[in-house]
Each structure stands twice: as structure tokens, then as C-alpha cells.
Structure 1
Amino acid sequence: MLEGNRVSRISVRGFAVASATAVTAVGSVVGVASGSTAQNVDAETTASDATLLSDIPMGQQAQVQTASLTQQADAQAVAADNSARKDAEETARKKAASDAVAKQKAAEKAEADRKAKEEAASRSATRDASSFPVQASYTIAEVQEMARQIVPAGQFTCFSNIVDHESSWNYRADNPTSDAYGLVQALPGSKMASAGADWATNPATQIKWGLNYMNERYGSPCGAWNFWQANNWY
């Protein structure tokens, strides 16, 4: 009876020590994963009690050892998973930042290209004014057709709006209260001589001069039209 009690006490003590050993082993693994020196010291201190495993009956030692190894393996797996997750999150963050920068640069380049093309189009005539045959007179429809062929398509509506308000497409329009003259009411009209000596009678010459004026002063006919709407002159 006394011997039986002794075995029971040893078994209970052995299990307690084995449990402490297993927990300490897990703490040691976690400590290594986190770089904690305190965990290592605890592991070394408790490891000295591992010899008490001999107090456990032989039939139960394998179970205790297996449980300890399983806990160690689980702890190592958890540490590996945490490390892998952090690496994946950092990689994803860096990629997202890189993609955002690339998209921003692409958008800025596309906008710069668009503006450059628009500016180039606004400054270049689709047809030279001198290529139109000279006539004794021109109808409004003929003058408008000339303008469509000289003024870039994207700027024509703005150019047309200004001419509508300034001269109603009358290339001989002469302002009685000033020296403004022609389709775009150049002031004085003689300014248009820079585009051709026939400025007073040739609507193509007036259109060429007007387009150049709008480009140089306002950037484009649409720029001139925006100013006109705000000030009723340009």
C-alpha cells in the first residue's frame, strides 16, 4: 500500500516536471523566434530539471517526450507562419506603393502628351492661306469653309464664336467708331498686313492672321474665346 502511494506520487511529480519541461521548450522556441534572451535563460534553468524524467515510469516516458516534441514543432510552425505573413505583408505594401507611383507617372505623362498635342494642333494650320484661289468676292459659306480648312478642327468652334460676335463672318466689316476691320476686327486693320498684302480683300489672309494672333496672345482660339466671354473683347 505504501509502495503504491509512492508510485502515484512519483507519477504525478513526473508529469508535472514533464509538463514544465514541455512548456519551457515551447517558450525557448518562441524566445528564439523573437530574439528574447530572458526566454533562453528560463529554458536553460528549467532544462536542468529534465533529468527528473527518469522518475516517470518507463511506459509513460515516451508519451511525455512525444508531447514535448509536438509542442516544440507547433511553436516553430507558428513562428514560421508569423514570419512568412510579415514578409508577405511587407512585399504587398511595397508593391502597392510602387504601382501607385507608376500609375501617377503614367497619368502625368499622358496629360503632358495630350497638352502638347493640343498645343501643337492649335498652332498649326491644316491648310495654308495662300493655297486658296483669289476671288473678287466671297460668300459667308465660302469664308467659313476656308476657316474650317485653316483652323485646327479642335479649335474651330471657338474661332467661329469669336468671328460670329466680331463681324458675323463679314470679311469687309469696318467698325465706324474705330479702325477695327475684317473677320476678327483687327485694330487697326493694317496689322493684318503681316499675314499678307491682300488683308483687306482676302478672308483667307484675315483668318491666318486671326489664328496666329489668338495663338500668340491666348494660347489658342479657345483661350481667346474664354477671355472674350469674360470681357466681351479679346
Structure 2
Amino acid sequence: MLKNQLHSPARRRRFGITLAIGVLVATGIAVTVPTAAAMAAEQSRLDAPPSKIESAAAAEAVTAGRAALTDAASAVVAAQSSGLDLGDASTAVDTSGLLDAMEELSDVDSLTALELPIVRVEASAEIASVTTQTAALRERQDAAAAAKQAAEAEAAAVEAAAAALANANTPDGAKATAAAIAADQYGWGSGEFECLNSLWEKESGWNYEAYNEDGGATGIPQSLPGDKMASFGADWATNATTQIRWGLDYIQRAYGSPCAAWGHSQSVNWY
């Protein structure tokens, strides 16, 4: 309410003079009331119109204010139409103070040389406030966009991993996986893989869910018991690749190569 009462230049002057005299009297300082001529001279100084430089500065402030308002409006529209989760905080930018200051600056002729700098400082502060709010809103939108992108990437990775697992768990996928691991980790080429293919085709048909009801042998390599394969992964019961890694390691340790293991199997019907 006080700010509204002081909008009038005359009221501002009266309030300032009254307040100054009141403070001096209250503190016990002697007050000399100016003469009528002195007061008239002071009033003439206060009522002096702004200089061209001051008026130009006011115009620049108005231009800067309009730019800040346009930028704020753009940020608000972008945030509200983004469809992103920006949290519970408002997506609005408070521009009321800037609009009031710009309205005062737009009527430079009604301001004196003393009042114009004050209003211009107020406008600068409001421009800074709007700019800060706009930047904060954009940061929230950027953070929300990054969070959404990360969530989508994680979901895509999970989906890809599930698809890869499903593919590896098929007989053809398991064979391809076994051939790659055998070559990369053990240096076993196509000849050894032919033996491995024959061995595990006989044992399980390359079915990771294979289970021998008689003895309890499990999975593609027919591990006995099946939980031996846990040394290569807790998912040994559902992941063909884990079973393959365990089976190849077992063959290397027990027989040295798939062809040796296949030869043993042909001789005694087990390996």
C-alpha cells in the first residue's frame, strides 16, 4: 500500500521531507526549516525533467524488460507443453513486478530526474528476478528431460538384454554362443566345435531346460548336480550362456578339448 501511495512525485517529495524532519526531531538534532526560497529552489531541482542520457537508459531498460518477458513466456510454454514431470513446483514465472516497473518507465515524462534512476533500479531488479526464474524453470525442464531419457535408455537396455537372453536360450542361439566362447577363450576352432555339437546334441539337444529324471543331470552340458553351474552365475537354471561357460570350463579341465570329451562319451556313454 505504501508503494502505491508514493507513486505520485509530489507525494514522494512530501513524504521524504516529512520523514527527514521527523527523524531529526526525534533524535534531538536541531532542525532549521528552509526558507521559502530555498524550498522553491529544491522543488525546482526535484521537478527537473530527466536528461536525454537518463531517458535513453530508461528506454534500454524497457527493451531489456520486454526481452525478459518474452523469454519467460517462451520457457513457460515449453515447460507446460513438454509433457515432462517437473515436480510439484509451479511452472509459472512471476512477472507482475517487472510489468509494473516497465509501466512506470514507459511514461518517462511523468518522472523527474530524481525519480527516474530509482524506478530504473527497480526495473533492473525485476528483470534479474524474472531472468533467474526463467533459468531455473529451464533447468528443471532439462533435468526432467534427462531423467526421462535415462529411464528410457534403462528400459531399452533391459529389453535388449531380455531379447538377447531369449535368443541365446534357443538351440541355435546357444550353439552360436558356444562356438564364439570356445574360439575366443579356448582357441577351439570349427573341428572342436563339431565334436562339442555332437556331444551336447546327444546330452541335451542344446536345451537349457533339459533335465534327466533318472540321475538329475541338468541343462545343456548335463551338469550333475545342476547347481554346480552356480559357480559361473546365479542364473544358471535360466541362462544358456551361463551353462555353456560352465560346460566349456568343465570340458577343458576334465578332458582338455571337446573332441576328447566326445571320444570318451562314445566309449562309455557319458563324459
For this structure pair, what is the TM-score category when the shorter chain's length is used for normalisation?
A: 0.3 to 0.5
Larger of the two Rg values belongs to structure: 1
Q: TM-score, normalised by structure 2?
A: 0.38
TM norm structure 1: 0.43
